[in-house]
Structure 1
Amino acid sequence: MSYNSLILNKLDADRYMANLLDKSLAGVQQQAVQQAHLIYLGVERLSWYSSCFFDNYQDVCTRLKQEDKRFLKALVVLVKHQDTIRDMLEIYINYMFENLSDQRIRNITLTLSKAGAGFTTATLTKFTISYSIATLAASSLSMQVSISSALTKWSTRGVVVAGVYGYVQEASQAVERLRHTNPRYYRDLYGRDLEMLYFLIEPVINKVNVFNQYQKSDNDIVSDILRIIR
């Protein structure tokens, strides 16, 4: 499943928080809180640009500009490639199998095929298992919830710039977390100009630690996979 259209539409400032005022207070309370937080982040980020006027804070100004450029690069990739979210997931899931023997991978694929999770032994091989898992994870309910939670609806034009910068700020904060908790995944995403989209899939990625597989049984790994795709 491709989320490109969903993500780009959510980032369309012309539709910012459409029809919000026509809804009841109870119906929009949660969305309004999320929107207020997003706008706050955007205003905060815009305020930091005042550092560009002071020689002692040029490092802050340079970092903000770099993050803005990286965010735009990520959007370009999103526009050009239909399976960006799946590709990001596949990079992460590949780590899960890189240190496992062929026999263990066969055992895992067999168990998955019996788990009724949409896998068959005919389609799962050492070379296709990561792709298959990433495809299922990209279309899972948890991924839909993750992306929908990360992207709120747009609604009045008065705070468009702040809203856009709220997304950039959320993205930069997620990247900073990723840089400290999972530097390898950060580097791999950065090399593909994708790290600023990490905030969209962070809740799903955080479900499983794929870097300690040698300590897990085959059944443990199967359980990890099932958590990712559901």
Structure 2
Amino acid sequence: MLLSEYLKSKMESDKALATQLDNIVKKLKDNTISLTTNLYSGIERASWYTSCIFEKHNDVCQELKFEDRRMFLAIKQVYKRDDVILDMVKAYIDILMKDFDEQKQTMIAKNILGTSAEIVTNRAIKESIAYLLAKSISASFNFGTIVRQRINKYTPYGMTIMAFYGKVQESAMSARHLRDINPSFYWALYSMQLEMLYFLIEPAIPAQMPLNSNSESDIINFINGLIK
């Protein structure tokens, strides 16, 4: 099952589980620490809305409203896109490869993918190479394991509004960190309404990219590290 399909199924199943009291109680027992963390984050974020009362803190209020709205848009994208995880990884690869010409991109792909890269044609070659590399990363065992664990931890169980809102808070903090560390990737995700979902792939796709991005060997080693 694709990671994006797994995400969709988890969101749907969690919503259904939330209607069953027995299962909710069981999850409370099994996830006490996680729930407590989510509740704290949710209460903390909700408390920040008191800043809306004071005009001098209007910027904080507007940022919270903006992030909540962006989270809603991101969740819609989960269902609108065929593979939301792959789309985020491809955007990452696009940035990694943007300074290389077609010949160097092909060389990088062949070093990483071997004969699999031979299917790339001259037509839309940059698009094809980025897709192949992103596909290889998203299909790798380690990446899949990390993202599944992340999905299991963060998809909404619907236990309480505050617990779910805590997930929005953690998502927002992750997006803010990405915006500070890697604005190019942040705005690429933003343009696709996906920046609030970065937290799902954050442990596997670091915000920090290679400093010497013009070195083919550095990019090859970096991408191989993402796949393995």
The normalised TM-score by structure 1 is 0.80
Change (3 A) 1:102 1:155: closer
CA distance in 1, matches of 2:197, 2:22: 24
Cα deviation digits, residues 164-196 of structure 1 (max 9, x gap): 111110110011101110011111111111111
- Structure 1 gap ranges (5+): none
CA distance in 2, matches of 1:143, 1:173: 22
Q: Which residue of 2 aligns with 1:160?
A: 160
Question: Is the contact made by 1:204 and 1:228 (CA closer than 8 Å) also made in structure 2?
Answer: yes
CA distance in 2, matches of 1:135, 1:6: 16
The normalised TM-score by structure 2 is 0.80
Q: How does 1:1-230 map to 2 (within 5 A)?
A: 2-11=2-11, 12-16=14-18, 19=23, 28=30, 31-114=31-114, 120-124=116-120, 126-127=125-126, 128-151=128-151, 152=153, 159-206=159-206, 209-210=209-210, 212-214=212-214, 216=215, 218-230=216-228
The alignment-based identity, stated in percent, is 30
Question: Is the contact made by 1:172 and 1:196 (CA closer than 8 Å) also made in structure 2?
Answer: yes
Change (3 A) 1:143 1:156: closer
Equivalent pairs counted in the alignment come to 218
- Structure 2 gap ranges (5+): none
The higher relative CO (CA closer than 8 Å, separation ≥ 6) is in 1
CA distance in 2, matches of 1:91, 1:98: 11
User: Which secondary structure state, in structure 2, belongs to the residue aligned with residue 204 of structure 1?
Assistant: coil
CA distance in 2, matches of 1:208, 1:222: 16
CA distance in 2, matches of 1:109, 1:154: 34
**What's the CA shift for 1:136?**
1.9
Question: Is the contact made by 1:51 and 1:57 (CA closer than 8 Å) also made in structure 2?
Answer: yes
Question: Is the contact made by 1:2 and 1:84 (CA closer than 8 Å) also made in structure 2?
Answer: no
CA distance in 1, matches of 2:97, 2:211: 10
User: Which secondary structure state, in structure 2, belongs to the residue aligned with residue 41 of structure 1?
Assistant: helix
Q: Please give the root-mean-square deviation of Cα atoms over the aligned residues, in Å.
A: 2.9
Change (3 A) 1:142 1:32: farther
CA distance in 2, matches of 1:155, 1:97: 35
Change (3 A) 1:143 1:134: same
**What's the CA shift for 1:37?**
1.4
Cα deviation digits, residues 91-142 of structure 1 (max 9, x gap): 110122222244433332332344xxxx524224543221011112222233
Cα deviation digits, residues 30-71 of structure 1 (max 9, x gap): x43233212221121122222333344333222211111000
Cα deviation digits, residues 2-45 of structure 1 (max 9, x gap): 3334324444444259747559x8xx4xx432332122211211
CA distance in 2, matches of 1:121, 1:34: 42
User: Is the deviation greater in 11-20 or in 95-104?
Assistant: 11-20
User: Is the deviation greater in 124-133 or in 81-90?
Assistant: 124-133
User: Which secondary structure state, in structure 2, belongs to the residue aligned with residue 122 of structure 1?
Assistant: helix
CA distance in 1, matches of 2:157, 2:203: 28
Aligned residue identity for 2:116: T
